[in-house]
C-alpha cells in the first residue's frame, strides 16, 4: 500500500462496504448461508493486501534471513527487518530494539517469564494477575511460582467484570515484583485502565506486563503513554497470519534479561568455553524465525494504519452499542460482562441451552461464534457460568450481521423452547 493510498484512506470516512470488499473470505457461504464471522477474538480474517504480500514472499522472495549474501536472502532480510520499524511506529515504542519478534502473545508472556522472571523474581516475592486473565497470562506465572517459591495473587473484579482498583492498591506492596494484566478481556470485553494500573504498580516498585492481544486490533495503543514495561500481542488477531506476534519491552529491561532459547542468530560468538549473546532484540530470537508470518504482519499493520485505528475503534464502538441494544430485546438471554468501558465483545448465555449447542445451531445459520470457556476458566467461575457463547466483532462486521446473530439466537430458542 503506497503512502498516497494510505493518506487517501485515512482521510476518507469509514466505509464498511469498501472495507469488506478487501476480505475475500467474507464472500463465501457456510451451510448454504452467507458467512457471518463473529469469532474475531479467536482469530481475525486477512484482507487481500496481506494475502497478496504472503503470496509475493512465497513466490518470489522466499529465503532465510540474516544468513546469506545472495540477493534473495538480502531482500528477505530487508523486508523482514522492516516490520520491526512498522511495529515500533504502530505502538509508538521508543526504539526498534524494543521490538522482539515472537510467534504470538503467549510466547511473549513466556519469554518474559523465562527471561525476566527466572532471573529477578525470588522466593517470597509476589506476582499479581487479574481475575480476568487468559490462561496464557496465568499459567507461566504459576510455573514460575512453583519453581521459585514466589506467590501469585489475584486482583478481584466485580459482577460487571471490572477490576477493583481499591483492592488492587491493597495488594501492591514491597513484595510485589511484577503485575501481569490484560488490556482487554478476551472473555468479557472489559477495557482495563492499564495506564493507571501501571502507574500504581510503578509506585510500588513493580514492573508491568500488559497482554494486549485483544486491544491492539481495536484501538490505538501507545506503549510510551501507558508506560508499560512489557506489552505483547498476536498478529493473527489483527488481520495478520498465525505464527506472528510482538513482544515490546523497555530496552533497559531487555538488556538485563537472559535469553529465552539458545541457538543460531541469538549469538555474537560461540566456543566450547563460552557463548557471547547478540544485542537486543536478537538475543531473544534463536533459530530461523517465522519469516513469512512476520512479513504478513507488517502488511497487516500497513492495512490497519491505512484505515486508521481511531476510525476502527469508533466504528466498532457504534457496532457494540447497536448489538447491545438488540440483545436487550431478547428474553432469556443474559450478557456476561457489562463493564462501562468495553471493546466489541458480547459474551452471553441463553437460559436452558448449553453454549456449545448455541454455537452449533448458529453455525448452521452461517454465524461463526466461539463457545466455551475462552481459555479463561477463572473468569467463568467468577461469573458463575460453566461457559458462554461469545460474539467478538471486528471493523468489517455490519449491523445486518448483528441482526443475523439475533435471528440465529431466536432460532436456538425456538428449537429448545
Nearest to 180 by CA among 218, 132, 221: 132
Distance CA 370, CA 337 (A): 16
- Do the beta carbons of residue 129 and residue 141 sit within 8 Å? yes
Nearest to 374 by CA among 213, 260, 266: 213
Cell of 256: 538485563
Residue linked to cell 457471518: 36
- Do the beta carbons of residue 45 and residue 37 sit within 8 Å? yes
- Residues whose CB falls within 8 Å of the CB of residue 410, separated by 6 or more in sequence, listed in order: 330
Distance CA 304, CA 3 (A): 13
Nearest to 215 by CA among 41, 36, 389: 41
Distance CA 299, CA 22 (A): 13
- Do the beta carbons of residue 38 and residue 391 sit within 8 Å? yes
Cell of 137: 497470562
User: Which of the residues 145, 150, 239, 375 is marked catalytic?
Assistant: 375
Nearest to 81 by CA among 357, 297, 309: 297
- Tell me, what DSSP letter sits at residue 135? G
Distance CA 363, CA 30 (A): 8
375 is catalytic: yes
Helix or strand run (H / E) with residue 318 = helix 309-328
Distance CA 83, CA 65 (A): 13
Nearest to 266 by CA among 254, 252, 249: 254
Distance CA 355, CA 383 (A): 15
Q: Give the residue numbers annotated as catalytic, written as ranges.
A: 375
Amino acid at each position: 500500500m503506497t503512502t498516497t493510498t494510505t493518506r487517501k484512506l485515512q482521510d476518507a470516512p469509514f466505509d464498511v462496504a469498501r472495507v469488506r470488499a478487501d476480505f475475500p473470505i467474507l464472500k463465501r457461504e457456510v451451510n448454504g448461508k452467507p458467512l457471518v464471522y463473529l469469532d474475531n477474538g479467536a482469530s481475525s480474517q486477512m484482507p487481500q493486501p496481506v494475502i497478496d504480500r504472503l503470496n509475493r514472499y512465497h513466490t518470489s522472495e522466499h529465503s532465510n534471513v540474516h544468513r546469506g549474501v545472495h540477493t534473495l536472502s538480502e531482500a528477505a532480510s530487508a523486508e523482514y527487518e522492516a516490520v520491526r520499524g512498522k511495529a515500533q511506529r504502530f505502538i509508538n515504542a521508543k526504539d526498534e530494539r524494543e521490538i522482539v519478534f515472537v510467534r504470538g502473545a503467549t510466547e511473549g508472556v513466556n519469554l518474559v517469564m523465562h527471561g525476566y522472571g527466572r532471573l529477578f523474581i525470588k522466593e517470597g516475592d509476589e506476582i499479581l494477575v487479574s481475575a480476568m486473565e487468559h490462561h496464557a497470562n496465568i499459567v507461566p506465572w504459576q510455573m514460575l511460582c512453583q519453581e521459585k517459591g514466589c506467590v501469585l495473587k489475584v486482583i478481584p473484579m466485580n459482577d460487571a467484570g471490572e477490576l477493583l482498583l481499591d483492592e488492587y492498591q491493597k495488594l501492591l506492596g514491597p513484595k510485589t515484583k511484577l503485575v501481569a494484566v490484560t488490556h482487554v478481556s478476551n472473555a468479557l470485553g472489559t477495557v482495563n485502565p492499564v495506564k493507571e494500573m501501571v502507574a500504581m504498580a510503578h509506585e510500588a516498585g513493580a514492573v508491568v506486563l500488559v497482554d494486549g492481544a485483544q486491544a491492539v486490533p481495536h484501538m490505538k495503543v501507545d506503549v510510551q503513554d501507558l508506560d508499560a514495561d512489557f506489552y505483547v500481542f498476536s498478529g493473527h488477531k489483527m488481520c495478520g497470519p498465525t505464527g506472528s506476534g510482538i513482544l515490546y519491552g523497555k530496552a533497559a529491561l531487555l538488556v538485563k534479561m537472559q535469553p529465552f532459547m539458545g541457538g543460531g542468530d541469538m549469538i555474537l560468538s560461540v566456543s566450547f568455553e563460552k557463548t557471547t549473546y547478540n544485542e537486543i532484540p536478537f538475543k531473544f530470537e534463536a533459530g530461523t524465525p517465522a519469516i513469512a508470518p512476520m512479513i504478513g504482519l507488517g502488511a497487516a499493520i500497513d492495512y490497519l494504519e491505512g484505515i486508521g485505528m481511531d476510525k476502527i475503534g469508533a466504528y466498532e464502538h457504534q457496532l457494540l452499542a447497536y448489538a447491545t441494544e438488540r440483545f436487550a430485546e431478547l428474553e432469556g438471554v443474559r450478557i456476561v460482562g457489562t463493564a462501562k468501558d468495553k471493546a466489541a465483545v458480547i459474551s452471553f448465555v441463553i437460559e436452558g441451552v448449553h453454549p456449545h449447542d448455541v454455537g452449533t445451531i448458529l453455525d448452521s445459520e452461517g454465524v461463526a461464534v466461539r463457545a466455551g470457556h475462552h481459555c479463561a476458566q477463572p473468569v467463568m467461575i467468577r461469573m458463575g457460568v460453566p461457559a458462554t457463547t461469545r460474539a467478538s466483532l471486528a471493523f468489517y462486521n455490519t449491523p445486518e450481521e448483528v441482526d443475523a446473530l439475533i435471528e440465529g439466537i431466536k432460532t436456538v430458542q425456538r428449537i429448545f423452547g
